[in-house]
Structure 1
Amino acid sequence: MPFRPMPTPTPSLAARTPGWTVRRWCRRVMYRPLWLCLLLLYGALAYGQTAAIEPGGHWPLQVWRDTGLLRDDSGSMDLQQVAALPAGAQRGFRRIGTEKLKSLDMKTAWWLQLKLANHDTRALKLRLALSPYDFREIDIYLQKPGSAWQHLHGGLTSPLAHRSSRSRLPTAAFALEPGESIRILARIVTTQPHLIKPVLYTNDGFIAHEVHMRGWDSLLFGGLLALGWIALMIALFSRNGAFLLLSAEALLVAGYEAVRRGYGHLYLWPDSTEWSYRSLHVLGHLSLAVFLLFIFEVARQEKVRLPGRRWLTGFTAFELGMALASWLGDTFLVRRIAAFSTPLFAVGLLLLVAALARQRVPTRRLMLLITAYVALHMTLSALEPWGLLPDFVYQGTLGGLGVNPLAVLFGFYLSLALLAAWITLLGKQRNSATEALAQWQAQENQRLSAEVATQTQALNKALEYANDKNRQKTEILSYIGHDLRAPLATIVGYARLLVHSPASERAAQLRAIERNVDYQLDLIDELLNYARAELKPLHLVSAPVEMAGLLEDVVRQGHALSQGQHNRFQADLPGILPHTVLLDARRLRQVLLNLLSNAAKFTRRGLITLRVRAVRADTASPVWTLDFEVSDTGIGIDPGRQDSIFKAFEQGPTRPEGVGLGLFIARSIIRTMGGELYVQSAPDQGSTFRFELKLMAADDHILHWAPPDLSTQALAQTVPALPSEAPPPHDRLELAVLARDGQLSDIEYWLARMSFAYPHCTEFFTEIRGALQALDLERIESLALAQPAPADAARTSTAAAATAEAPASKAADGGASFAGTPAANASAADASAAKPSAAAASTAGTQ
C-alpha cells in the first residue's frame, strides 16, 4: 500500500483558527489526488511492460520478477473476467518488482499473469514451469494475438489421465516465432502455503534439466532403499529393534523425498486425488516420530541416560498426532503449525546431542555434526514456503532448497557415516568380552614382539653402520680416483710442453706444474681430514683472492688439459673484472678444473671454451655477479640422463658416454657458495655447464685483464711409427679399445698375455709400457692403431704365423695359453673385461 505520512496531532480548540482550517483543507484537497495519481501510475506500470526474450540470453530465465499476482478471495472469477481487467485496475494484477512472490497463505484462488515477446531472430520452443508441484488445482491459459485461449489442466486433485501434462511439475509448452508474443494466465487453488517461482526453459533445456535432476534423485532413492534393505536384513538376523526402526526410517524418508519431488502422483498413486497432497505431510511427520523412537531404542540398548526424556516423549506423541491430522484434518493448518514446531524440534535436537556429547558418548562429534546439518536443513525447508529466506537460497534448482538433491545427499552420506561408526561401536562392544579373555596373551605377545623388534632394530642399526662405513670408503676411493687424476693430467700435459717449448717459456710452465702439485697435495690433505671427520659437511674458507691470478692459472691448466686429445682451447673472458673478491679460491678452481677435465676427456679434436662474465648492479654496489660457463663440442649427453649425472658419488660407466663423480662434487661446492650448476646438452652436439655466483669485492679497484697467449704452447701432434715387430691387428685393436676407455689394469693384463704370446715384439711392448707409466693413453691408442710399412706388415704376419704354434705346444705340456687364434684372443679379451680393476674404476670416474 502507498506510504502515508504520520497524522498531525489535533490542536486544541483555542488553537483552531480559521487559517488553520483552511490550511488543513488545502492539504487534503492537494495531497489526496497526488497519492491517487501515484497509485494509478504504479498500477499502470505493473503490466504496461512485457518480458522480452532477447537474442543470446542466458537460459533458463527467471521470470517471476515479470509475473503479476491477483488474489480472488471469492474464488468465483473466471477467465473472461480476469482477462478483461484493465491495466492499472484497483483490484488488478500487482507488479511484484524486486520482491519475492508472496506465499499463498489462504484457501482462495490465485491468478498469475505473464506476457512474453520473442525478440530473437529464431523460432523458439519454450516451456514454462511452475514450482512447486503440489498445487491442489491449476489451470493454465495461453493466448497469442488474434487467436483463442488454449487451456491446460492439472493439479493433485485430478487423476493423471485427466492432466494435460505428464510432467512431475506443472508446465506449459508453446512456441514463439520471431517477433511473436504470448499472454499466459494461470489459476491456482491450494490449501497450503507455497513460494511460486515461474521459470522459462527452452524445451530441450527443460528435458535436459529433468534428466539431470532425475539422475541425482535416483542416486538418492537408491541409497535410501539400499540402507533400508540392509538394516531390515540385519534386524531379522540379529533380532535388533534399533535396526528395524532404522529400516522403517529409511523407507519413510525415501517415500517422503519421492513425494516431495513430485514422483508420488506420477508413479506411486497416479489416480489418487486426496492422498496425493496429504501424503507429503503424513510421511514427513511419521519419519520424525520413527526417528525419535530410534533414538529411544538406541539409548535403551546402550544404557545411555537421555537428557530431556519427557520432552522427547511429548514431541514423539506430537509428531504422531500431526501425522494423523495431516491424514484426516486441515492440511493448511498442519502446515502452519509445522512451520513453527520444526525449528523448535531442530533446536531441541541440537541441545540433546550437545548434552550427549558432554556424557562422553562415542561418535558424539559425528552425531553433533549430523544433527546440526539436519536441524539447519529442516529449519530452512520449513521457512522456505513462507518466503522468509533471502533470494540466494532459492537459486540453483527447480523447486527451491528443499528438493535440492545435493543437500539431501550430503545429509544422507553423513547419516551413513554415523551408522557405520555406530555399527563399528556395537561390534567392539560385543567383542570386548573376548578381548578381555585374550588380554594377557596379547600383552605377552606384545612384550615378546617388542623385544624382538628391539633386537632387530639393533641389528639393523649395526648393519646400517657397516653399510655406511663401506659407503664412506667407496666415496673416499671414488674421490681419490677422480680429483687426483685431473692435476696429474695437467702435470703430464705441461711436461710434454716442456719438451717442445723454448727455454724462455719453461719457467712459467714449471710454475704451473708446481701449482698443480701443491693443489694435489692440498686434495690429499683434504681427503685425510675428510676421512678423520667421517664425512662432515663441506665448509668454505673465504679470503681475498685476485681474479687475474686465479683465472690465469685456470686458463693455463685448461689449455694443458685440452691438448690430451688434440683439442683447441679458447678463453672468452671479459675485459673488466673486480680486482679482488672474497671467495674460496681452492674450491672454485676445483670446480672449474673438474668441468674442464670432463670436457677434455669427452671431446676429441674439438673445441673447449671457458667463458666468464662479470656484472655489477650499480657502480656504488660492492656485489658482483660472475657467470662461469664451460662448453665443448664433444659427444654430448642424452636428455634422459641429464638429471642423473649429478647424483652423489655415482661411479660413471667405463664408456666415454658416462658422466661420473666430478659433477656431484662441483654441484655441491657451487650450492654451498650460493649458486646452482646447470647443464645444456644433446647427443653429438657437445655440452655446456654454467653456474652463477654473487661475490663481494674486497676493494674498489677494477681490473682490465686479457687471457695469456697460449698459441705457441701446442703439443706436437706427431703420429707414432709402428715398430717392426708388433702383435696382429685384432690384438692391437683390443688394446686401442682399452686405452680409449682408460682401463689401466686391463692394459697391464693385456701386456702380460701378449708378451707371453708374442715374445719377439719387445720393442712394441716397451713403447706401450713407457706410455703407460706416463699415463699417455692417447699415445697407447695411436700406437695400437698405427699402420706398419708394407715390408714390416709381411714380416709381422710371418712372425705371427710362426709363433702361433708355440702356445698350443705349451698348452699340451700343461702351460697356460693366452693367444694363438682370434677366438682365443676374443676369449682372453672377455676375461679381461670381466676382471675387476680399481685403476680402471678410478680412471673412468673422472667425469
Structure 2
Amino acid sequence: MNRPPYRHASYFPSTDSSQVGMDEMNLKLGMRRLIWLLLSLCLGYLATPASAAPAAVSCVPGIVPVLPLTQLLEDPSRALDFNEVAVLGDERFFGADTQAPSLAFTHSAIWLRFRLENGASAEVCRRWLTVGEPRLENLQVYLQREGRWETMRASSDHPLEQWAIAERQPRFLLEVEPGESIQVLVRVVSRSWMAINPRIWDGPALLEALSHSQLLDGLTLGVMLLVLPIGLVIALLTRFPLLLMNSLLLLFYFAVVVVVNGYLFYWPALLPWSREIVALLSACTFVTFLSYCFVLLRVRLLGAWLRPVFILYTLCGALILSWGAVGDFVWTRNLFILFRNMAYVLIPLAFAIALYRRVRLGWLAWFVSGLMLVQGVIEFTGHVENDVWLFGEDRLGLSSALFLAFLLICTLISGVVHARQRERKALDELTFLQQAENERLESQVQLRTRQLSDSLQARSALLARISHDLRTPLGSIIHYARELKQGPVAEQPERIERNARQQLELLDDLLEFSRSELQQIELSLQPGYLFGFLREIEEEGRYLAVRQHNRLQCVLADGLPVLVNADFRQLRRILINLLNNAAKYTRDGLILLKVESLPCPSGLFRLRFIVQDNGVGVPQDFREQLAKPFQRGSNTLTTKGFGLGLSIVSELLGQMGSELHVAENPQGGSIFSFELELESASEDEMEQFFLESHVVPTDGAERRIVLVDDVELTRTFLGDLLGGYGFDVQLASGGDEALDCLAAGPVDLLITDQIMPGMDGWALLREVRRCWPELPVLLYSASPARPGAGQQGLTFDGALLKPATTEELLARIERLCSESTLSPTS
C-alpha cells in the first residue's frame, strides 16, 4: 500500500501557538500510525510462510544460478499439468535453501517455478536455460507470455525432432522484451539420477562453458582411444588375464560414462533405451571390477569360504543392476547405492586375509586395496558434496574414466615386471630341465643298448621284415633305372633318390628294433604337410599299380587339414604296404586311394584312409588271420609274396591306437581302411619348407621376385634360399603389402601362398590379373589350388606343393622368369 511521505513538524516554520498545537497533535497521530505500521509489518512477517515467493531472476550478463531463486514442488502422482501448477499458492512450494530436497531416484515429477524479468535493459534479453545433467529423461519448459503458454521439450523420452534445441546438453532459449517479466515452469521426470541445477546463461558464457567441456571431453576421448586399444591388444597377445579384465573394465565404464553424458544423442535410435543400456553396462562394469579384484588379490588362495562370498556378492550386484533394464530402475538404483558399500569392506577384508595367510601380492594389490579403504572411510564418515543435488550417485563425468586409464597403465607395468620375473624363473627351470634331460638321455642310451642286445635273438624274423619292406623301393629303383635306359626323364633321378632314402629309413627302423620291441616302438610325431605327403604316396602307388596294368585314382575329400603332427615314416609304410597289396592281387583294374575327414573334438582331426581294389578279394574265413605273419589266402597262392605286408600294417596301426578294417567291395575285390586322430600343426613349427636336392647352378641376377606368405619363417627361409642364388627378393606378409611391392617397380615373378588372412592368394591373383595381366604368378602352398566362389576363371601360371625340392622349385622359377616379359606399371 502506497502511503504519502511522512513529514516531521519541526521541518516546517510556524508563527502562532495554534499552529504549534496542531503540529503536536499531528506528531502524536503520526507516531501512533508509525507504531501500528511497524507492528503490522512484524505480524505480517511472522505470518508469512518461509516459502514466500522469491525475487525474480534478472537478465544480467554471465551465469545466473536459478535454484536459490526458484520455487520447488514435488508431484508424486505426476498428474498435475502446467495450468494447475501455475495457479498454486506459494504455500505449496518450498525453496532449495529452506528445505533440502530428499530426492535421489524418484518416480515423482519435480516442478520448478521462477520469473525472469528484463527491467534494466532496452534490448530484448536472450538467455539460455539449462536444467541439469544430460541424463535427465523428460524435460518440459513452459513460458507464460501475455496470458498464453509456450511449451518446449527435450531429453530421451521425446523424439529428437521435438527437442527445443538439438544438442547433447538439453537447453532452452528464453527471450524477454524490455520491461517484460515472464513466468517459467520446468517439469522434470526422470527415473535416472535427479541431478537438477538450473542456470541461466548468456551467449558468451554458454559458449565458453561448452568450449571448455568439449576440450576436456576431447582430451579424455583421445586418451581412451590411445590407451584402451593398446591394453586390449597387449592383453590378447600376452594372454595376461589381469590386463584383459582391466581393459574390459575401462571399456564398460567408459561406455557407461558416454551414455550417461548424453552421447547417445548422436545415435537417436538408442535414445529411448538409455536407461536400459546404462543398467546393462553398469552390471558388466561391476562384474568386471570384482573379477579384476578377485584375480588381483588371488582370492582363490584365501580360503574356501571367501571365494563363494566374493562370487555371490558379484552375482547379486550384477543381478540388481541388470534388473534395472527390465524392472524398476529407481528401486534397483537405490538398493545398489546401499549394496555397493559392502565392496569397501569386502576388498580390504580380502587383502587383510591375504596378508594374514602370507599370500604374495604385488604392489598393485596394495594400491587398489588402499584406495578402496580410503574411499570407504570417506563414504562412511561423511559425504562431500560438490554439486547442488548429489545423492549417493557418482558424477560419472567423462574425465572420471581417466583414473581407470591410469590403473590400466599401472596394470600393464605390473604385467611387464611380472613377465620379467617369470622369464628369469623360466631360465632357471630351463637349466634344471637341461640337466634332467641329459640324465634322461643317458638312461635312454642304456635302455636302447639293452634293447639292441636283445634284438639279436630275433635275427631271423628281423631279416624277414627287412626283405619284405625293401622289396617295394628296390623294385621301384629297378623300374626307374630301366626307363632311364630308354631315354632321360626329368623326374626319374628324383624318384630314384626318394626311394633310396626310404630304404635308408627302413633300414634304420628295422635294424634298431627287434620283433619283440616292435610292440614298444615310440612314435616320432613331427609336423608335416599332409597334401605333400599324399602326393608322394600317390606317385609311388601309381608306379605299383601300372606293373599289373592297373589304374590308380586318388580322391582327397574337402576339409582335410593342411598341416598335422604325425609319424609320417610309419604312415608311409602302412599306405605303401596297402597299395602294394592291392596292386599285387589286382590286374587290369582300378585301385582307389581315398582320404576322408570325420567329425572330431576341437584341436584334433580324425582322418579315414581307404584303399580299395577290384582284385581277387579276401576270403571271409581268412580275414581273422590277416594280422599274423606268413599267412596267405587260398586264392593268392599263385602270386609272389610272403604274407608279411598286412601283418606289418596291423602291428603299426596298433601302436598308433588304430586298427585295420577289411570289407568286401561290391564290384569285386577288397576295401581296406583305418582311422587316425591327428593333432593340427602350425607352419611356425616346421623345420623344412623345401627339400634340399642337387641342382644345377642358377643365376638370378637382375631378376626381381616378390614372395608373399603370412608365416614369417616360410618367408625367411625361402627368401634366404632365393637370395643365395642372386635373386632380388622382396618379402610381403599379405596381399596388400604385395600389391604395394608390385606397384613400386618392375617384377619378374610373384610367388604367393594360397590361404592367408585378409586378402588370400586368389584375391591377390585377381588383382594381379587386373593390373599386371602378363606377370607370372607361382602358387607355393601346402594344399592344392582350390578356387573359391567367383574365382573359377582364375588360374596360376604354376603351382607347387610344400615341401618341394630345391631343384623343382628353382627350375619352375627359372622357367616362369624366362617367360616374363612385363614390366609392371600402376
Same-fold call, TM cutoff 0.5: no
> What TM-score do the two structures reach when normalised by structure 1?
0.41
Higher RCO by CA contacts (8 Å cutoff, separation 6 or greater) = 1
The higher radius of gyration belongs to: 1
> What TM-score do the two structures reach when normalised by structure 2?
0.42
